[in-house]
Amino acid sequence: MRRMDTVSAPRVPRAAPPSPSAAGRRLTGVAAMLGSGLSNQTGAAVGALAFPVLGPVGVVAVRQYVAAAVLLPLARPRLRSFTWRQWWPVLLLAVVFGTMNLSLYSAVDRIGLGLAVTLEFLGPLGIALATVRRRLDACCAVLAAAGVVVLMRPQPSADYAGMGLALLAAACWASYILLNRTVGTRLPGAQGAAAAAGVSALLFLPAGLLVVVHRPPGAWAAGCAVAAGVLSSAVPYLADLLTLRRVPANTFGLFMSVNPVLAALAGRLVLGEGMGAWEWAGIAAVVTANAVSMAVPRG
């Protein structure tokens, strides 16, 4: 028998369902995030195909050129109006940007794409975990550390130089995030990022010329390097601009967690790299640590 209350409870108004336009924008943002990750990791794998001819230095040089060619016309930085207070973080950002890409691609050449990107991912994960003081984040840090221990465990085939390069890329990525914040507060729009990309391209110009002189690339190697620049620099940059206007920052960070998995898959499909159960367990630990930290709201 249904109970009849003499006094009816006040009705709580239901939250209005998201409008079709808002839902469409969020769906577009999610698609852009996935597309950005796939493009970035596929570009890195395609770039690795050119390593036998150009080496990591040559591929990274081309990537820097492509990034500058995309960002400078879009942002149109007013370089002559920059003050020293604006220039010094831009110059540091350029050095960090180039070092990050060079150390990552050198690590990919030695230890494979999946492991290199997973270790590099510790940079932004460390920044995210260092800014909060929750027990949950401490647990996530322990989980991520356990994943790193698994990935870097001693074994006959372990390439610790490659792992060290990937960790250097992680430190550079963390520095890149912090410097980007500083540049963003001192220069409007994407002027700082574009200027840094231009300076980084200039820094890699001598290296690119040396590679071309000593090891002239064929059409295949040059095409792979250019494709890496487009897929790993131009497409992700434009996709991220689209994404950040449509999804919350924590959702963006959550979807970034899939990058190590996408890198491992791209390495498998494009480069034929195989990983064992232990490697997948280490990647899963790092990815889960970031996903949980991002998914649970901060109090």
Nearest by Cα to 208 from 161, 96, 200: 200
Taking CA 113 as the corner, what is the angle to CA 29 and CA 57, rounded to the nearest 5 degrees?
Answer: 105
The answer to whether the CB of 273 falls within 8 A of the CB of 109 is no
Dump pLDDT digits (tens) for 105-158. 999 999 999 999 999 988 887 877 776 667 877 788 888 888 888 888 877 777
What is the C-alpha separation between 17 and 22, in angstroms, rounded? Answer: 10
Dump pLDDT digits (tens) for 156-182. 777 899 999 999 999 998 898 888 888
What is the C-alpha separation between 203 and 211, in angstroms, rounded? Answer: 14
Dump pLDDT digits (tens) for 229-273. 899 888 887 776 666 566 666 666 667 778 888 898 999 999 988
Which structure tokens are listed for 136?
């949950």
The answer to whether the CB of 117 falls within 8 A of the CB of 259 is yes
User: Within a 10 A sphere around the Cβ of 90, how many other Cβ atoms?
Assistant: 25
Give this prediction's pTM: 0.82
DSSP string over 37-75: HHHHHHHHHHHHTTHHHHHHHHHHHHHHHHHHHHHHHHH
What's the Cα-to-Cα distance from 107 to each of 11, 57, 96, 101, rounded to whole Å? 60, 12, 16, 10
What is the C-alpha separation between 163 and 120, in angstroms, rounded? Answer: 9
Taking CA 149 as the corner, what is the angle to CA 144 and CA 154, rounded to the nearest 5 degrees?
Answer: 165
